[in-house]
Amino acid sequence: MTGLFTFGETMGLVVADGIGPLTYARGFSFGIGGAESNVAIGVARLGGESCWLGRVGPDATGALIRSRLEAAGVRTIAVPDPTFTGLMVRYRRSGEFAHVDYHRAGSAGSRLNPADLPPSELREAAVVHVTGITPALSETCRAAVFQAVETARDAGVPVSIDVNYRAKLWSRFDAAPVLRDLVGLADIVFASPDEAALFVDEDDLLGNLAKLGPAEVILKDGGKGCVAQIGGERHAVPALPVTVIDPVGAGDAFVAGYLADRMAGAAPEQRLTTAIAAGAFAVTVSGDCEGLPDRAELAALGGGDLRR
């Protein structure tokens, strides 16, 4: 087994300095962001092996994505595409609210298709991880996600999905049946309570998600911590008290922490503890993936162990 395999759209990320309307911003930083690549970086930082695949355009943003992921220790399969690499612009309208504008319609990432996915990568991975973002981007992206899941399942490779519902990409009505089908094919499912309520009854979110098929169901609930049902047993881990600088990327850090420990053979309670600590560490640093921690930093925060 070669570690985590994931795929999806990674974009350039323009972030306005300071707080207030974008009109009055005087400085910007430029980086990268994408749920799947964030998880790949997070796993690599925690000592695991990870591979990310996606389409990138013939532009500086595409080149930056390749170089940043490779520098982070992620094995990168960047499929060249003739169109542009997607872009997002983020600013803090106030101390409490962040706003993101996406420029991704027709982007290189949205043109991902089943033929881009090497079957050997899917069959030889330790875990194949997908999100609910990719199937919302285009019909070919959706087909690629379902093909990847089926190929992994046929090979006995565990499939992980982070529901990651994005209202800007599709309606709840359109998303619910697709996400429900994906959860039914997965072994490991991550969701917020609101995301889970898209397609299961709220009376017992954990139990109702588990009834769809996954053996490991984890509900991420921000400052409340997480609850999980793993192998029929229920767990609850509280959040760690930290000063929040930027909440973006916390969910991806959580997923990376859980999957890194799962691939390392850790028990469920340890996986959840590491996931909580990774998410807590990520919110103390600005950026989508810049704050993802290594093992020593998790230990300093009070979570995780020091496996290398």
135: confidence class by pLDDT, cuts 50, 70, 90: very high
Dump pLDDT digits (tens) for 261-276. Answer: 999 999 999 999 999 9
The pLDDT of residue 287 is above 70: no
Domains of the chain with bracketed CATH? 4-301 (3.40.1190.20)
For residue 219, report the phi and psi dihedrals to the nearest 5 degrees.
Answer: -100, 115
- Predicted confidence at residue 291, as pLDDT, reads 74
For residue 246, indicate whether it is catalytic.
no
The pLDDT of residue 4 is above 90: yes
Q: Name the catalytic one among 116, 162, 246, 252.
A: 252
Dump pLDDT digits (tens) for 174-185. Answer: 999 999 999 999
Distances (CA, A) of 291 to 4, 72, 160, 169, 303: 20, 12, 23, 26, 16
- Predicted confidence at residue 146, as pLDDT, reads 98
Position with higher pLDDT, 299 vs 80: 80
Dump pLDDT digits (tens) for 104-132. Answer: 999 999 999 999 999 999 999 999 999 99
Q: What percent of the chain has pLDDT over 70?
A: 95
The pLDDT of residue 301 is above 80: no
The pLDDT of residue 303 is above 60: no
Position with higher pLDDT, 69 vs 222: 69
pTM: 0.93
Round to whole Å and give the CA distance between 301 and 296: 9
